[in-house]
């Protein structure tokens, strides 16, 4: 699991957990549930769909593809986080074009590949 903590935008001071993003081996990107509204409400909604979640830093993280599908109003924020994560992956791998080097980042069970979402 790769974790990235994004820089605060526009000088705002949001907690690190709200700016953290995780990418698992299958390429599924997890973002904080609070992006879409009340964290508890979003996490309960995942139970209806049997959507996998991460519990970390005492907070809930949900797959970005699921988040965009069920909460389209947070699409722009998710896109911004995805772009920042892609930059982080590129820096981590030390290459200009991460898409050409990351072969293990594939979608699974109908999930969208995070690299496909960014483009």
Tokens of 18: 């709200």
Each residue of 25-56: pLDDT tens digit? 888 889 999 999 999 999 999 998 889 999 98
| pTM exceeds 0.75, yes or no | no
Which position has the higher pLDDT, 92 or 74? 74
CA distances from 45 to 4, 37, 49, 50, 109 (A): 25, 11, 7, 9, 19
Question: Which range is least confidently modeled, 2-6, 67-71, 75-79, 96-100?
Answer: 96-100
Residue 68 pLDDT: 93
Residue that is written with structure tokens 């299958």 in the block: 26
Instruction: From 115, 51, 60, 57, select the one nearest 83 (Cα to Cα).
Output: 115
């Amino acid at each position: 699991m790769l974790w990235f903590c994004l820089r605060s935008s526009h000088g705002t001071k949001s907690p690190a957990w709200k700016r953290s993003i995780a990418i698992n081996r299958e390429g599924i990107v997890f973002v904080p549930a609070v992006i879409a509204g009340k964290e508890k409400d979003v996490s309960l909604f995942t139970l209806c769909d049997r959507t996998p979640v991460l519990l970390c830093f005492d907070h809930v993280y949900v797959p970005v593809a699921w988040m965009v599908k069920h909460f389209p109003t947070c699409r722009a924020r998710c896109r911004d986080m995805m772009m920042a994560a892609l930059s982080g992956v590129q820096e981590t791998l030390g290459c200009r074009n991460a898409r050409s080097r990351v072969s293990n980042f594939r979608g699974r069970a109908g999930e969208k590949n995070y690299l496909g979402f960014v483009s």
